[in-house]
Amino acid sequence: MKAIIFDFDGTLANTLPICSYAFQKVFKEFDNKNLSLDGIKAMFGPSETGIIRKNLTNVNKEQAIELYYKAYSENHSNLVKPDKEIDDMIKHLKDNGIKIGIVTGKARRSLDISLKALQMDKLFEIIITGDDVVKPKPHPEGIIKALSLLGVQNNEAMFIGDSDADIQAGNQANVHTVGVQWLPDYHTQEFNTEPNSSFDSVQQLVDLVNKGVQNEL
């Protein structure tokens, strides 16, 4: 295993609460609509700008997008906390020479807010956001692009995510897929698309990497 590529929301950071808060604020203010968490999750796929442009009925979509980012930024520190286990896991992967990247449906703007707030902004060799692809997950475009930029073959990489779209994208890119439910809030309660592996703790990934390293010795 030469590279591990991660989804972001619900996989590397417990950001679903801040995403939900910002979407609920936008749709309430502009459409007078109360969105449930399930309703928000059902819209996931495109970036947040894509979600707002597609689903908001109010014509003032650019204003709504700016409100989203304002709510996301101002409330991030209250709703999203650093996770020591995730931080230690990333360090462990890098210490073992594994390239790490992100393929996320988030727009670059919100991802940058989260990465900077969580002091994760200098950890990844490659980052592909929803702004960098024509077709979002479950299409494999982002993962295929990440593999190319990392210089690894699909049989040398793993994609880790918390949604069916993540697993479908990884499967179509022919990489080892891992479905995770290791953070307090995640997208999929039960995977409809079967991942190659399923982890409910960060330590399981660390153990897998350690096993691979020992096999090489």
Cβ pair 200, 182 in contact under 8 A:
yes
Cβ pair 103, 143 in contact under 8 A:
yes
The whole-angstrom separation of Cα 25 and Cα 31 is: 10
Catalytic residue (choose from 7, 9, 162, 166): 7
The whole-angstrom separation of Cα 39 and Cα 161 is: 20
The whole-angstrom separation of Cα 89 and Cα 75 is: 26
Cβ pair 129, 107 in contact under 8 A:
yes
Instruction: Indicate if 7 belongs to the active site.
Output: yes
Amino acid at 92: H
Cβ pair 150, 3 in contact under 8 A:
yes
Residues designated as active site: 7
